[in-house]
A and B are shown apart, each in its own frame.
Chain A
Amino acid sequence: MRISGKGLVDRSKTVGFRFDGRDYTGFQGDTLASALLASDVRVFGRSFKYHRPRGVVTAGSEEPSALVTVGRGAAQVPNLRATMQEIHAGLEARGQNAWPSVNLDLMAVNDLFAPFFSAGFYYKTFMWPRKFWEALYEPAIRRAAGLGALSGAHNDETYEKAWAFCDLLVIGSGPAGLMAALRAGRAGADVILAEEDSRMGGRALAESHEIGGQPAAEWAAGVVSELAGMPNVRLMTRTTVTGAYDGGTYGALERVGLHLASPPGDLPRECFWRIVAGRAILASGAHERGIAFSNNDRPGIMTAGAVRAYLNRWGVAPGHAVTIFGNNDDAHRTARDLAGAGVRVAALIDVREDVEVAGNFPVHAGCRIVDTVGRMGLREVVIADAAGKISRIVSDCLAVSGGWNPALHLTCHMNGRPVWRDDIAAFVPKPGMVPGLEAAGAANGAFSTRACLAEGAAAAGAALEALGRKTVTLDVPVAEDGAVRLRAYWEVPEPRHRAWLDFANDVTTKDVRLAAQENFASVEHMKRYTTQGMAPDQGKNSNVAALAILADATGRGIPETGTTTFRPPYVPVSIAALGAGGQGAGFAPQRFTTSDRAARERGAPMIEAGLWYRPSYFPRPGETTWRESCDREVLMVRDRVGVCDVSTLGKIDIQGKDAGRFLDLVYTNTFSTLKPGRVRYGLMLREDGLVMDDGTTACLAEGHYLMTTTTAAAGPVMRHLEFVHQAHCPDWDVQMISVTEQWAQFALAGPLAREVLNSVLESPIDAARPAFLGVIPVRVMGVEARLFRISFSGELGYEIAVPARYGEALYRDLVARAESLGGGAYGMEALNVLRIEKGFITHAEIHGRVTAYDIGMAAMVSAGKDCIGKAASQRPGLSGPERELLVGLRPIPMSRAIGAGAHLFDEGAEPVSANDQGYVTSVCWSPTLKTHLALAFLKNGRARHGERVRLVDHLRGTDVICEVMHPVFFDPEGGRARA
């Protein structure tokens, strides 16, 4: 119910929203939790395992129970904490893990079988028969258990990633964080103040006391207003710092558009930040913990601090008659605040005998709660005094405080271990757990407001000093400075029913004791056996209590028992935010050639070649399959002329007086003897002696070479050359740089290639100049160009290179001229057929496991000089008859299609791996030779030309006899290319 005169919500702005199919209203500034509590909604969802009704437990991001799904369709987001989701017009939320609704959930039958479902139940029960686990048991269990679900539909909403840099990152904007940011801001440092709430202030918004003589929330607003006016301070609300990483880098998740009724279309829903900070101050506050007792999970039972927060921040009393149960003086504040606001306090129960409480409400010192009543919401609390006398208190809300745990999680992200402090019965961070990060305030175990203010200011001073900046003094305002008075109290002994620790994963005190009994006594083993701390809240609410009970069960102290490791992220992070920008085409850069548009306009389907897009084939009217187009393009090149964009091949410009010597080192064959104007084919080995890449290198002038790499290996070859230069011969005079993108390069192949060229060149060429494997400068329509005479098709072939700005124009022109001569453009499919017919290799053959010997190029490894990989290539086993060697295959009959990846066996041998003789790397239908062809690697293949082998494709079900041949099927003398 809403309390008039309390809270910081804007009561002039009513906001309508829906929850579980019903309409509600709240006020601007409400969370889903506060607005529904104000409307007396108690059940928010069903629990993970037992489907027990659950309500709100906390008022922050640590909420374990009130998880809801927001939105519909592809955009639905599950497992949002109702305590964090701000209401807005049109908000539609649903409770989770319930069918048909949270108030009537048929799966709640699980709760009746609870005695069977203790920790380890599944492991023990569903062991047999073993194969049933994956097929039957696990899917069924997973269906019954769980949280919200994804829609399963593709979500194309925008998410974002971004970087930020600062001198000081302050995490949390409570009294400590505000003081830290204020001091550093006034000193002129670049400050980022990150706050996960929608409003800055932290506990100052949730408490009723004063700071510096004014209400705490007003003091906070004043500081925030001053900070907002500083150009060097960046205030980031709705931003949870999720992880601490190396080098002062912090991950953070910002809710950008999730709280808006009608966000602009391009607005990201969330942004994942990487914040790099010189120093950081963790002022993340503390989490209040519960006490385990019978049926302590009923809707209406929440932490005492949360009850105060709902009252003071949102003006909401979560009940009409509230009982408070605690082991410390802090809990008493809740009773006083409620009574002060006119809410009926049914009882204050303190487990300690010696407490002094002044207030107009019944106080039960030295008592404990032995049970609660009310399945769909708390109705009664059953208490026992020291003598065991039972009494009942009618109450619809129970505020529990078992003390506070510093929210120190980030300090543990680099595997540091916190230390135990007996006086506050909690773990606190040690200095230096994360380099450059210091905890201050409640996160550091300082629980009074005054101590928080002082620690925040002091931490900023230390940070400024560490940053080498001038510091300024900052007076610490007057504020409450009470000592922590608490008696460690984790559970009410001998509970009548289950007493819950981890609400999110339905783990009870009994489960923890069972783990200890079954010798899962290490805290890490207990966690995995019971799943305590493995839910979305990551044990924030239950961790310390669970290990306290484990410590008790194993007869050890809490410090000896230790704590589990806190890892990033601090709160759940959407994968969509982590992967922002990577959806669909954003996954990898797209590279387009200058002829891209011309190819697409001709209807060419584009295929990816690395990051490049290249035309697959150019369909003409009447052609219904790719094969028809491909066959036509192959014959077109063989008979007339074809044009193909080969700009994607890597081009590396190499200059310097040691350039020739350098090429001799990286290539197996000799290049230092190559004369200007000549081109040579080269083979490159890796350090391990296997083939790395091949290509041609032209000598443009004395000490000036242009190396060509395959499209796929352009980057790796550049990296390899840089490595060789820097690591093996740094004193050599060699300069190299990629010029791949500078040049648009087009292959002209076919008997009429020269005729096409002479129609565009300013001075005609002839058969002699350039000769085969030559390069000359030419001029094409006023533009300086390079003309190479090389062939990857086996036909008369040229490649003409112009500066890329002219690429599109020249390509369109060359294709049109080729078409006039009965030729045209050809794509990757035809290019592949042409080179298979000629036995030319690609990375299908030089796939990283073959040697120069395997591909018949052992003679290219020059005997007269050393090269990278030469020594390693001479190791035993890398040559000889046991190797699988490159051969050609032709099926018998020739019309039988064969597939790449098929394996080879001796004729008559059973096609099993023990009999494997080799494999197929490239296949095609050769329209030139009217047969299917393949390139393959066959054991001792060069000695087996003319033999028959059995080709079996186990995937496609092919089983064909093939004839082993020389891999060059067409024009073995190479006369056509030299014409």
Chain B
Amino acid sequence: MPSLISKSPCEDLLPVEAGGVKLSEYPVDRVSSVAPFAGKERASGAALKAIGLGWPKPGQSISANGARILWTGRGQAFLVGAEPAGLDGLAAITDQSDGWARLRLAGSGAETVLARLVALDLRPGAFPEGSVARTGLGHMMMILRRDGADAFEIMVFRSMAAFAVRELHHAMTACAARVAAG
């Protein structure tokens, strides 16, 4: 039976590397927006607890069992890597799996690279592992999560994937050139 060929947002664009910093794409995974209905906030949180997560505080994420949930705004979170089970009737769910390019920027200079495009204080004390922000990446809007001491998850609109890669790669090569210049 014929089937439709599936493509990831950054197919043919990634990975790229410069100055010890690598930009790659996360494997395509299930991403759902979760927005609890009025009065169902607590029940939604309990349903998410049942899969090992819970409702994230503003600016934070919770990870467990290969899945995670990211705060993404007022009364809204993104569930990544898990089916939104047990939330029927408790929260408005939409499929966002194809709507976002999910990039991983990793390496000891990752924070320096992001300092070219992000106006936030990303020092580990101010933005520790698991922190989430909806903020700007250059002229784009993004969801940013610290994935490790030297790693960040960057989510931008799928349509802007090529532009985001271009911008990040430009910042990466500029930072690498600084190291090369001494």
- List chain A positions with a Cβ less than 8 A from chain B: 158, 160-165, 190, 256-257, 260, 263-268, 274, 276, 581, 585-586, 588-594, 612, 653, 655-657, 704, 731-733, 735, 737-743, 780-783, 802-810, 813
Nearest-CB distance from B7 to chain A (Å)?
Answer: 6
B116 touches A162 (CB 8 A): yes
B181 touches A809 (CB 8 A): no
A809 touches B98 (CB 8 A): no
- The verdict on B96 contacting chain A, using a C-beta distance below 8 Å, is yes
Chain A residues whose CB sits within 8 angstroms of the CB of B95 once the complex forms: 739, 742, 803
Give the top 9 A-B pairs by smallest Cβ distance, nearest first.
A655-B92, A741-B99, A733-B38, A735-B92, A735-B35, A591-B159, A267-B177, A742-B99, A804-B98
Quick one: which of B57-101 are within 8 Å of A by CB? Answer: 75-76, 91-92, 94-100
Specify which of A160, A267, A585, A809 is in contact with B6 (CB 8 Å cutoff). Answer: A809
CA distance A803 to B98 in the complex (A): 6
B174 touches A267 (CB 8 A): yes
Given A733-B38, A782-B1, CB of A612 within 8 Å of CB of B170: no
CA distance A438 to B6 in the complex (A): 59
B6 touches A806 (CB 8 A): yes
A267 touches B181 (CB 8 A): yes
B97 touches A741 (CB 8 A): no
Specify which of A161, A257, A742, A804 is in contact with B116 (CB 8 Å cutoff). Answer: A161
A742 touches B1 (CB 8 A): no
Most buried by A among B4, B123, B174: B4
CA distance A581 to B99 in the complex (A): 26
Nearest-CB distance from B60 to chain A (Å)?
Answer: 20
Given A162-B116, A804-B158, CB of A810 within 8 Å of CB of B4: yes
Binds A, one of B45-53, B143-151, B160-168: B160-168
Interface contacts beyond A163-B119, A263-B181: sample of 17 additional A-B pairs, CB < 8 Å, sorted by A? A161-B116, A163-B118, A190-B123, A268-B174, A274-B119, A592-B159, A657-B38, A704-B92, A735-B75, A737-B33, A737-B92, A782-B4, A783-B4, A804-B9, A805-B8, A809-B4, A810-B4
B116 touches A160 (CB 8 A): yes
Quick one: which of B2-53 are within 8 Å of A by CB? Answer: 2-9, 28, 33, 35-39
Chain A residues whose CB sits within 8 angstroms of the CB of B178 once the complex forms: 256, 267
B28 touches A805 (CB 8 A): yes
Q: How large is the interface on B (under 10, 10 to 19, 20 to 34, 35 or more residues)?
A: 35 or more
Chain B residues whose CB sits within 8 angstroms of the CB of A589 once the complex forms: 138-140, 160, 163
Given A165-B126, A268-B174, A803-B95, CB of A781 within 8 Å of CB of B139: no
Specify which of B2, B4, B119, B160 is in contact with A802 (CB 8 Å cutoff). Answer: B4
B121 touches A742 (CB 8 A): no
A-B contact pairs, 30 of them (CB 8 A): A162-B115, A165-B122, A165-B126, A263-B181, A264-B181, A267-B174, A274-B119, A581-B170, A589-B138, A590-B160, A590-B163, A591-B160, A653-B92, A656-B37, A656-B92, A657-B37, A731-B38, A733-B39, A735-B37, A735-B76, A735-B91, A737-B76, A742-B97, A742-B98, A783-B3, A783-B4, A805-B7, A805-B8, A806-B6, A810-B4
A781 touches B2 (CB 8 A): yes
Q: Identify the closest chain A residue to B12 (Cβ).
A: A597
Chain B residues whose CB sits within 8 angstroms of the CB of A807 once the complex forms: 7
Q: Identify the closest chain B residue to A648 (Cβ).
A: B159
B173 touches A266 (CB 8 A): yes
Specify which of B33, B98, B126, B181 is in contact with A805 (CB 8 Å cutoff). Answer: B98
Given A656-B37, A656-B38, A804-B158, CB of A260 within 8 Å of CB of B181: yes
Chain A residues whose CB sits within 8 angstroms of the CB of B91 once the complex forms: 735
Chain B residues whose CB sits within 8 angstroms of the CB of A809 once the complex forms: 4-7
CA distance A782 to B1 in the complex (A): 9
A741 touches B159 (CB 8 A): yes
CA distance A655 to B76 in the complex (A): 13
Chain B residues whose CB sits within 8 angstroms of the CB of A160 once the complex forms: 116, 174
Q: Identify the closest chain A residue to B100 (Cβ).
A: A741
CA distance A782 to B94 in the complex (A): 20
Quick one: which of B110-126 are within 8 Å of A by CB? Answer: 115-116, 118-123, 126
Chain A residues whose CB sits within 8 angstroms of the CB of B162 once the complex forms: 590, 592
A164 touches B115 (CB 8 A): yes
Chain B residues whose CB sits within 8 angstroms of the CB of A612 once the complex forms: 159
CA distance A804 to B100 in the complex (A): 10
Chain A residues whose CB sits within 8 angstroms of the CB of B98 once the complex forms: 741-743, 803-805
Specify which of A165, A588, A781, A803 is in contact with B123 (CB 8 Å cutoff). Answer: A165
B3 touches A782 (CB 8 A): yes
CA distance A267 to B179 in the complex (A): 9
CA distance A809 to B98 in the complex (A): 14
Q: Identify the closest chain A residue to B157 (Cβ).
A: A741
CA distance A733 to B37 in the complex (A): 6
CA distance A52 to B36 in the complex (A): 75
CA distance A737 to B160 in the complex (A): 18
Chain A residues whose CB sits within 8 angstroms of the CB of B3 once the complex forms: 781-783
Given A158-B174, A733-B38, CB of A805 within 8 Å of CB of B167: no
CA distance A586 to B139 in the complex (A): 9
Chain A residues whose CB sits within 8 angstroms of the CB of B96 once the complex forms: 737, 739, 742
CA distance A810 to B2 in the complex (A): 12
Chain A residues whose CB sits within 8 angstroms of the CB of B36 once the complex forms: 735
CA distance A592 to B138 in the complex (A): 17
Chain B residues whose CB sits within 8 angstroms of the CB of A266 once the complex forms: 173-174, 176-177
Most buried by A among B9, B35, B158, B160: B158
Given A257-B181, A612-B159, CB of A739 within 8 Å of CB of B99: yes
Q: Identify the closest chain A residue to B119 (Cβ).
A: A163
Chain B residues whose CB sits within 8 angstroms of the CB of A810 once the complex forms: 4
B158 touches A741 (CB 8 A): yes
B6 touches A739 (CB 8 A): no
Specify which of A265, A274, A742 is in contact with B177 (CB 8 Å cutoff). Answer: A265
Chain B residues whose CB sits within 8 angstroms of the CB of A655 once the complex forms: 35, 37, 92
Nearest-CB distance from A359 to chain B (Å)?
Answer: 44
CA distance A809 to B8 in the complex (A): 12
Chain A residues whose CB sits within 8 angstroms of the CB of B121 once the complex forms: 165, 276
Q: Identify the closest chain A residue to B19 (Cβ).
A: A266
Given A264-B180, A266-B177, A741-B158, CB of A808 within 8 Å of CB of B7: yes
Chain A residues whose CB sits within 8 angstroms of the CB of B28 once the complex forms: 805
Nearest-CB distance from B47 to chain A (Å)?
Answer: 16
Q: Identify the closest chain B residue to A276 (Cβ).
A: B121
Q: Identify the closest chain B residue to A274 (Cβ).
A: B119
Chain B residues whose CB sits within 8 angstroms of the CB of A802 once the complex forms: 4
Q: Identify the closest chain B residue to A159 (Cβ).
A: B174
Nearest-CB distance from A702 to chain B (Å)?
Answer: 11
B94 touches A742 (CB 8 A): yes
A263 touches B157 (CB 8 A): no
Nearest-CB distance from B63 to chain A (Å)?
Answer: 22
Nearest-CB distance from A369 to chain B (Å)?
Answer: 47
A804 touches B138 (CB 8 A): no
Chain B residues whose CB sits within 8 angstroms of the CB of A592 once the complex forms: 159, 161-162
Chain A residues whose CB sits within 8 angstroms of the CB of B120 once the complex forms: 163
Q: Identify the closest chain A residue to B172 (Cβ).
A: A266
Q: Identify the closest chain B residue to A587 (Cβ).
A: B139
B5 touches A806 (CB 8 A): yes
Most buried by B among A160, A260, A783: A160
Chain A residues whose CB sits within 8 angstroms of the CB of B159 once the complex forms: 591-593, 612, 741
Given A257-B181, A804-B98, CB of A781 within 8 Å of CB of B115: no
CA distance A856 to B8 in the complex (A): 45
Chain A residues whose CB sits within 8 angstroms of the CB of B160 once the complex forms: 589-591
Q: Identify the closest chain A residue to B5 (Cβ).
A: A809
Q: Identify the closest chain A residue to B113 (Cβ).
A: A162
Given A590-B160, A735-B35, CB of A581 within 8 Å of CB of B7: no
Chain B residues whose CB sits within 8 angstroms of the CB of A260 once the complex forms: 181
Nearest-CB distance from B172 to chain A (Å)?
Answer: 9
Specify which of A190, A264, A739 is in contact with B94 (CB 8 Å cutoff). Answer: A739
CA distance A704 to B75 in the complex (A): 17
Nearest-CB distance from A455 to chain B (Å)?
Answer: 28
Nearest-CB distance from B71 to chain A (Å)?
Answer: 14
CA distance A550 to B22 in the complex (A): 61
